[in-house]
Amino acid sequence: MSTNIYRIVHRENLNLILGDKKIFAPNYGKSSKYIPIGEMELIKERANLQILIEPGGTIKDYVAFYFGVRSPMLYCIKNGFDVTRKPQNEIIYLISSMEKLIELKMKFVFTDGHAFAAFTMFFNNAKDLNQIDWNAVNLVRWNNTETDPDRKRRKQAECFVYKDIPLKAISEIVVYNQECFDYISQVLKKHKTKLPIRIEPAWYY
């Protein structure tokens, strides 16, 4: 069984990704036409977050993925909390896996929680994947509680791929509804690219 990783992007960005045949980290060639969906202040702060293990650099030298679906960030995007509100049918999942990263000899780091939390740990060896709280990662309801005031942080464990990730590392695209499925099908057809597409409304809010 593979350890999947999930990147959420605005569907309009798929044209750029297919044209480049890879996803670039922010510091490595991202187009000015790229539509950001994250919290802008957080995106700016990421430029200054140093990675203290190999291969080093800052978070903006990496392509970010989550280890689970229904991230708190997607909830914010759906509701317009601290970010520009976007309809969920405009947000798509690009899926890869840790096994694929290793097969392609890609450099990566990953965390046991939200990268900006003071006590989040960083790792660069897949043998440490057991440090992730997989129960928290897979929660549908992830809000902090009195008995577990840290589970929102653990839900947001991330994988960061150094510099870029090639299109061949993406195994599948998941979308919210049939309208988005049809849209993405046309984009793939235009770029003469074959990738499986699946509708999974349960991965959304």
Q: Which pLDDT belongs to residue 29?
A: 77
**150 belongs to a structural domain:** yes
Give residue 169's pLDDT: 98
What percentage of the chain carries pLDDT values higher than 70? 95
Mean pLDDT, residues 56-83 taken together: 95
User: What integer pLDDT is reported at residue 30 of this predicted model?
Assistant: 65
**CA nearest neighbour of 109 among 67, 38, 51:** 51
For the question of residue 99 being annotated catalytic, the response is no
100, part of any domain: yes
Q: Is residue 205 part of a domain?
A: no
Q: Is 198 annotated as catalytic?
A: no
**pLDDT, tens only, 157-201:** 999 999 999 999 999 999 999 999 999 999 999 999 999 999 999
- Predicted local confidence at residue 14, as pLDDT: 98
Specify which residues 91 forms β-bridges with: 10
The domain total for the chain is 1
pLDDT digits (tens, 9 = 90+) for 89-99: 999 999 999 99
Q: Has residue 71 been placed in a domain?
A: yes
Report, as an integer, the average pLDDT of 118-144: 97
DSSP E strand stretches across the chain: 4-10, 22-24, 62-66, 91-97, 108-111, 122-123, 158-162, 164-166, 172-175, 197-199
Q: Which of 46, 70, 151, 153 is catalytic?
A: 46
Mean pLDDT for the stretch of residues 33-60 = 82
Range of the domain at 185: 4-200
pLDDT at residue 46 in the model:
59
- On the question of pLDDT at 41 being above 70, the answer is no
